[in-house]
């Protein structure tokens, strides 16, 4: 029972929801392979060719599954872009989301938490201003490493998307996580190109302008109220 037209599907126990993939900004796509999707509390058992997709939208970033026979992008209910949680809400973690997709690409059996666990495991660490360390992060890492192996996950934490420069050029429209980009440059896993340097200059100006780190709870409240991120020019003026 797979919806091939992209209409919403909600199944018992959390379930799967489909949306038109053209509505989302795509970071990268994996390869189609036969994958099984099972819901522990539901009645769904899909065996089809799926590929994981790293995406972002105006209020969320994460990983979906795209079945080969439709133009839909499927999300697990707790990981849906219309209902962001403190982890997948802005600022958008482009590199962690990409790495989560690469992790999901190694997995052949998905339950109703696997995509979100993959996203968590794509992060080096997860701690939010205003929230603190993520209690789910170590649990997700442990679950994923049982599936992929610790070395495989750690090797993925050294890769970055090939199109990172083009993605960061969209920072006037989308709120990307500057701390993530700065950390990867410092670690040497991300080359400091002109596009990356320009993005980081804007990020540091933004931090100086507001004199405080990003507060995730404030972000989620702003999303609910339709408040957009204030714009700061490269010179630090609003």
Q: What percent of the chain has pLDDT over 90?
A: 37
pTM value is: 0.78
- pLDDT (mean) for 139-166: 95
Quickly state the pLDDT bin for 6 (edges 50, 70, 90): very low
When comparing pLDDT for 181 and 219, which is higher? 181
- pLDDT (mean) for 185-213: 85
Quickly state the pLDDT bin for 234 (edges 50, 70, 90): very low
Structure confidence at residue 211 (pLDDT): 53
| CA distances (Å), origin 229, targets 71, 74, 89, 174 | 31, 28, 13, 9
- pLDDT (mean) for 150-155: 96
- pLDDT (mean) for 68-82: 64
- pLDDT (mean) for 153-157: 96
Q: What is the pLDDT of residues 206-222, one digit of tens each?
A: 777 655 555 555 555 55
Considering 108-117, 150-159, 173-182, the range whose residues carry the highest mean pLDDT is: 150-159
Structure confidence at residue 152 (pLDDT): 97
Quickly state the pLDDT bin for 52 (edges 50, 70, 90): very high
For the chain, give every domain's residue range.
16-225
Structure confidence at residue 11 (pLDDT): 33
Structure confidence at residue 72 (pLDDT): 72
When comparing pLDDT for 176 and 223, which is higher? 176
| pLDDT over threshold 60, residue 227 | no
């Amino acid at each position: 029972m797979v919806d091939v037209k992209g209409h919403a599907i909600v199944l018992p126990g959390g379930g799967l929801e489909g949306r038109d993939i053209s509505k989302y900004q795509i970071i990268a796509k994996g390869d189609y392979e036969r994958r099984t999707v099972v819901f522990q509390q539901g009645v769904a058992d899909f065996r089809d060719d799926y590929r994981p997709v790293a995406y972002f939208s105006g209020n969320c970033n994460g990983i979906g599954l795209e079945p080969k026979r439709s133009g839909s992008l499927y999300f697990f209910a707790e990981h849906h872009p219309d209902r962001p949680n403190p982890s997948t809400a802005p600022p958008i973690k482009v590199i962690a989301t990409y790495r989560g997709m690469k992790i999901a690409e190694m997995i052949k059996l998905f339950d109703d938490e696997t995509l979100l666990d993959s996203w968590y495991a794509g992060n080096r660490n997860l701690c939010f201003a205003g929230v603190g360390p993520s209690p789910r992060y170590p649990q997700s890492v442990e679950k994923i490493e049982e599936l992929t192996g610790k070395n495989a996950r750690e090797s993925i934490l050294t890769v970055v998307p090939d199109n990172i420069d083009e993605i960061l050029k969209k920072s006037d429209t989308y709120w990307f996580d500057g701390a993530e980009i700065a950390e990867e440059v410092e670690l040497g896993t991300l080359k400091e190109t002109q596009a990356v340097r320009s993005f980081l200059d804007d990020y540091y100006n933004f931090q100086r302008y507001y004199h405080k780190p990003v507060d995730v709870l404030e972000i989620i409240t702003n999303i609910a109220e339709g408040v957009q991120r204030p714009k700061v020019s490269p010179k630090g003026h609003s």
